[in-house]
Amino acid sequence: MERAIQLAIESVRSRQGGPFGAVIVKDGGILAEGVNQVTGTNDPTAHAEVLAIRQACRTLGLFELKRCELYTSCEPCPMCLGAIYWTRLSRVYYASFAADASKVGFDDSFIYREIAQPKTQREIPMIQIIWSVFSRSRLDVGSIPKSSSVKSTLSSGESLRILRQSITTTATGWRRRNGANLR
């Protein structure tokens, strides 16, 4: 934890990002480190936790970080929390609460409120569009509809069945090749 806090202080001094640092530990040793680089890189996803996760995954050559722990200077935001769950970190330790960060201008509580809203009532509405063609070779990016009123030549149920079948086939093939479980 001491290293995560030290990284957060260094981040503030360098003016490359916010006051956040993160360290990923495996078997008692530091595997990866990250500091917030949002403002220095103009990348809103360059949070300390995400950067540490990316580095740890590259180092291990894996997209899962089982048996690894994250030490972070602040309670993770919703984006970082999602990355933590996707990588299957075994434990997270944090120094300060999200409410502490909120007091100094790093407030992510609105994201939690947005997630709880129905998709169509969010500040950025989420609109599902079902394409009638799922073939990569036939999908023309320029033809993606700009309106949610576009009708599919397949029924919604048929389109969803095809999409689910595609996802299942892809996941099954991955499991066979890697001998792993996706969830």
pLDDT (tens digit per residue) in 40-99: 999 999 999 999 999 999 999 999 999 999 999 999 999 999 999 999 999 999 998 787
How high does pLDDT run on average in the chain? 81
Helix, strand or coil for residue 21? strand
From the candidates 2, 10, 33, 49, which is the catalytic residue?
49
Tens of pLDDT, residues 12-47: 888 888 889 999 999 999 999 999 999 899 999 999
CA-based nearest residue to 63, from 27, 89, 92: 89
Residue 8 CB neighbours (<10 A)? 24
Rounded to an integer, what distance in angstroms lies between the CA atom of residue 136 and that of residue 58? 28
Q: What angle do CA 33, 35, 40 make, to 5 degrees?
A: 140
E-assigned strand segments in 27-146? 29-35, 68-74, 91-96
- 69 phi and psi angles, rounded to 5 deg: -120, 150
Measured in residues, the chain has a length of 183
Q: Is the pTM of this model over 0.75?
A: no
Q: Is the dihedral of CA 179, 85, 16, 2 positive or negative?
A: negative
Q: DSSP state, 152?
A: P
Name the amino acid, one letter, at 118: P
Residue 64 appears among annotated catalytic residues: no
